[in-house]
Amino acid sequence: MIRIHVTSVYVDDQAKALAFYTEKLGFIKKTDLPAGDARWLTVVSPADPDGVELLLEPAGHPATGPFQQAPVADGIPVTSFAVDDVYAEVERLKGLGVEFTQEATDMGPVVTAVLDDTCGNLIQLAAMK
C-alpha cells in the first residue's frame, strides 16, 4: 500500500517559512536536519503529529523560480490545507497579520480562502460543508 509520507512546498527562506508555518498557521516542527547548504525541515499538524509531513524545501534550483512564480501570478494556490471553519480561521490568521488573496468564499460544497505564506506561495484553506 502506498501512502503519502512527505509532501513539499518550495520556500525562499527556510527560517522565515518555519516561523510562518509554526507561529501563524500553527504547525509544529517535526524534523530539522542539516542537508548540505540547507536543512531537511518538516512541519506537521499538531492534530496528527505522526501524519503527513510538509517539507519546507529551499527554492535553490534555477527552475524553481519560474515554477513557483507562475501560479502566484495567476492566483493559483500551490496546495490546500483542511480546516474545520474557514471563516473562523481567516479571522484568526488576519489577527496575526496574515494576508489573504481570496477571502473566505462559499463555493457550493466547500468554503475556501487563499493566503500568502510570505515565502513565495499561495496556500488554500478549505472546509467541506
Q: What is the pTM of this model?
A: 0.95
Read off the pLDDT of residues 44-94 as tens digits, 9 standing for 90 and up.
999 999 999 999 999 988 999 899 999 999 999 999 999 999 999 999 999
Task: Give the C-alpha separation, 41 to 126, whole Å.
Answer: 24
∠ CA 20-29-19 to the nearest 5 degrees?
20
Q: Does domain 6-128 have CATH number 3.10.180.10?
A: yes
Q: What is the pLDDT of residue 100?
A: 98
Per-residue pLDDT, 40: 98
User: Which three cell numbers, joined as nine digits, stand for 77?
Assistant: 494556490
